[in-house]
Structure 1
Amino acid sequence: METVIVVFNRDLRVHDHPALAEACARARWVVPMFVVDPGIRAGARAGFLAEALEDLRGVLRDLGGDLVVREGDPVAEVMRVAEAVRAEAVWVSGDVTPYGRRRERRLAEACAGRRMGFRAFPGVTVVPAGELRPAFGDHYRVFTPYWRAWSAHRRREVLGAPREVRLPDGVPAGEVRGLRRSGYGNLRGGETVGRRRLELWLKLCLADYDEGHDDLSEDRTSMLSPYLHFGCVSPGEVVAQAEGRPGAEGFVRQVCWRDFHHQVAFAFPELARRDYRARDVEWVDDPEAVEAWKEGMTGIPVVDAGMRQLRTEGWMHNRARLIVGSYLTKRLRVHWQVGGRHFMDLLLDADFANNWGNWQWVAGTGNDTRPNRVLNPVRQARKLDPDGEYVRRYVPELAGVPASLIHEPWKASPPIPRYPAPLGPATIGA
């Protein structure tokens, strides 16, 4: 094979990249390519994405190649480069989002019209969406049976980085424009940073993961989700490196949850638009309550801490996400789409499958086998932030409140200045 274009999307790495590895092994020339699509709003993730692309470009240059960057309609731009280099094939990593699948269909049709090959490779998940199916139905609707099937499934080999990337002469590399860091969030983008984080976290933190991964004050989570979302690290390699170490099962189970939501999204592409599980719920339209929730001014300290962490860091502890989601949908009775859109706007790891799958789960319209589950924010906070460290970190108005009142400041006398009364009962739920 003479020339292959490898289109990068949510797979911004060279390690364990099946499409890139096979292209480098089979083709004389390889054109690694990324198209900045103006139709996709990067939002808060623009800076992280820009750093990931610059890092990918640097790594590819070290291997003798480069990252060819274009801006515009992805199919038109890929076809334009394909014509210039006389490509024989276009390869991508298969995605599950409705947009990603439409893009793949359009690329396949455009390639067929030019008598070029097209192929979608695995790599976005550990097990490709659609590969595991129950005895009845096209996908798993409950996590535990999926976890059993996923754990027993034979996985593909984890691949190293190619030794060399041979880019044809005369292909302008292009610039990463319109994506600049704005000082948002604490995490830097890119494979180099992501692999280093994975290495250190597995070495120093994995053993204690089961014991403390729900702890809000210490936050023992890996914070690898933005790197997984953009494909800076491979989910298959994450699992392969973790398995066999003390504390690995609980962590690997969380990676499996990511695969679970991806296979749900693959089977139910309307995950962001309509209930996965129909429920008779009367949602409330309350703009003032929604604004208070977004700004972290609900009067419920643990909810406000989570929402302020999101706004300032582009990140929120997973348990806090469940608490603030349950509060919005089960206490304020606000539709899950409102919360999901806000998270999609601000999270560095905002992922179609995980974001909407988790919001439907917490709202009781998704894959939770207990759809009426309600998380009590005060009880959760007392258990997972007993001394109020997490709350004080993000709600400075409560910095001087003693631990006995930190999660129920409305009981203080006199009232806490500059902090609102709670939006209704705070102790709802179990």
Structure 2
Amino acid sequence: MTAQAHGSLKPIDLKDPDLYVPGVPHETFTWLRANQPVYWNPETDGGAGFWALTRHADVVAASTDPATFSSARESGGHRIFNENEFPAQDIEASMISMDPPRHVDYRRMVMGGFTPPRLRDMEAGIRARAVNLIGAMIARKAREGGPIDFVSGFSAPYAIQTLAELFGVSEADGDKLFEWSNAVVGEDDPECRASPEYMQACIQQMAGYSMGLWQLRAESAGGDLISMLVKAAQEGTEMSIPRYLSTFILLVVAGNETTRNSISGGLIALDENPEQRERAVADPSLLPHMAQEIVRWVSPVLHMRRTAMRDVEIGGQLIRQGDKVVMWYPSANRDEAVFDEPFRFDIGRTAKPGAPKHLGFGFGEHVCLGQRLAELQLRVAYEELFARLPNLKPAGPPRRLRSNFINGIKELPVTF
């Protein structure tokens, strides 16, 4: 039986990107958790349909059993659509569309870029970046007056310039990386991906750019992520040129989307919960916990998909071999069975003993490799924003990305 949207005769279609334009449909997810937590979602565009997992426990179960729930491209990949039916020319599967043990092998190639010593070395540069961007916003407002866009003025360049540092390239390359990231994940938003031809042009530009970096690092390697990938290829791993390109694309997207949208969404959450903002300003020791609560609250990645490799029961529902299974992180992160008052924004939530883990960075083997870097960026960003723009606040509603994959904010007017 197909579930009905709350207060409507229209069936719930979690795949519909228009559903997310006003914001995450938490009312719908709440209804599903209570009534059909493992929900069969038909696809109106000819797809086979998929099982939607909306409870925290079921998402964790699927995330920690890769032998049963596969991410591999040959099984369908990590998105609702089947990646193996739309192979991109000269691009092989990246680690996000692999299962263990191959997935683990590829993670190891870049893990050195996210070690605690590496992050400590990066903090001063991240802080200087935040200070410079805040100064630029102040200067821009002095020139132009009125509200300015927080995304283009702070959260987007802050995230993408840190990615440039990870790649060992100039911050001036950030605009290109930003455009390419939007094109890759924004397939349902015409402002981000105007046409298939535009997307192909972005892929070609990324290929040319990334190969230029490959050649430079092959001649003179450093400690950046590109050097790590080149070194892995030189040491005889499976890091082929097509797979290097897919890994480069993955790093561009992952290094940009989560941090940018968490910072922007966090500003909205703090404005809607002024007592939590006052609490953070009064007690800076809560800022690392606030960073985690922002990621839980925003859930910047909406879903990941798996494919059942055998018949299996989850949440009391029989799932057949070959069925698509889609894990919805915003719903899992509001699960009443796991989180105390899940619809309350609480910056001290993870400071409490035994606090449950949010799934905003995923879970299991595929947990986000850069989660500690993202938390560091969030903490530093808000330390500097609180100190330098104490009355910063949204001046209007955000413009959101049309996407069922990324909980994205394209524009957020602010005043200070």
Q: What TM-score results when the alignment is normalised by the length of structure 1? A: 0.24
Structure scoring higher RCO (CA < 8 A, sep ≥ 6) equals 2
Structure in which a larger fraction of residues adopt helix: 2
The structure with the larger Rg is: 1
